[in-house]
Amino acid sequence: MPIALRACFGVALCLAACTAKAEWLAQTRSMMGTEIRVELWAENAERGSAAQQAVFDEVHRLDLMMNPMNPDSELSRINREAAQEPVVTTPEIVEVVQRALYYSDLSGGAFDITFASAGRLYDYRGHVKPSADALVQAAEKIDYHHLRLDPEAGSIAFDQPGMAIDLGGIAKGYAVDRGIAILRAAGITSAVVAAGGDSRVLGNLGDRPRVIGIRHPRKDGEYAALIPLQDTAISTSGDYERYFEEDGVRYHHIINPRTGGSAGGVQSASVIAPHGIDSDAMSTTVFVLGVEKGLAFINARPGVEAIIVDSEGRLHYSDGLLQE
């Protein structure tokens, strides 16, 4: 996977201009708590637009299923009932939770969807954080080992009351993967599906790859690196999307499962991997692990790369990027 880095900072799409004959279609919708963007090249505009709509329909379906803020979602039903009895759920949630548990094991618990046991106590828009006592009690319920997934039965159960799960660190990556699968089935050969900080790239611009930018965590409109990518995914986890500051402390939505508080030491972590479900989970993992352990985690994974912006704004690269 050829990757070249140029100085600049955060993930926003930096798409080169298309040729005069190529017909690029681009649409953006608000879903999954972020902006979903579908860009593609199509010889037939009507078919291209239909393919875009099919992607939006799928993301909307997944959002209705996996949104923890929607009391009518399947995920909310799991959080209400799984401590009482196993909840038979959808194949999509089973697939995502199974992959999440894989990364929980792989990371030694740095990635843990049961972080919601504490994460749901924060209101970033309202500048609300839990009391020290409430946080201690909630953090005791964060432990993926108490989540019982039965793939054959398609069920999820919690071993202790008060536990909850949130798929925010993996669901958008899964959604962009599903979007690309839909476009491929429709015969599209060049596209980008993006869900906030998660992007999956299909094909290239004909004679060159697409260019994705790593956003600066502290300077709007600036970038840390421009990365040409083709047929791959990139995800960025940053402390700048949902946060508030109080007494000089930044409280953000990326929770350290060991404490229940916001993970520190990193401003953003970007991971490049073949699939969005993996880059999404690993970007969260790297953010929680920090620079040293995060890079060691990535360097042990063939075909995966990372760019980390530490708490001082310094950039750190995985081994594969340093060799380019």
Cβ 10 vs Cβ 213: under 8 Å: yes
10 is in an annotated binding site: no
Q: 82 Cβ partners below 8 Å, 6+ apart?
A: 156, 157, 158, 163
Cβ 56 vs Cβ 29: under 8 Å: yes
Q: 41 - beta bridge partners? A: 24
Which tokens is 236 given?
């960025």
169 is in an annotated binding site: yes
Q: What length does the chain have?
A: 324
57 is in an annotated binding site: no
* Residue of 35, 36, 38 whose CA lies nearest to 24: 38
CB atoms within 10 A of CB 324: 11
| Alpha carbons 308 and 19: distance in angstroms, whole number | 34
Cβ 9 vs Cβ 224: under 8 Å: yes
| Alpha carbons 157 and 162: distance in angstroms, whole number | 12
Provide φ and ψ at 34, rounded to 5°: -155, -170
Cβ 288 vs Cβ 257: under 8 Å: yes
Q: Please report, in range form, the residues annotated as the binding site.
A: 169, 280, 284
Residue positions in the annotated binding site for Mg(2+)?
A: 169, 280, 284
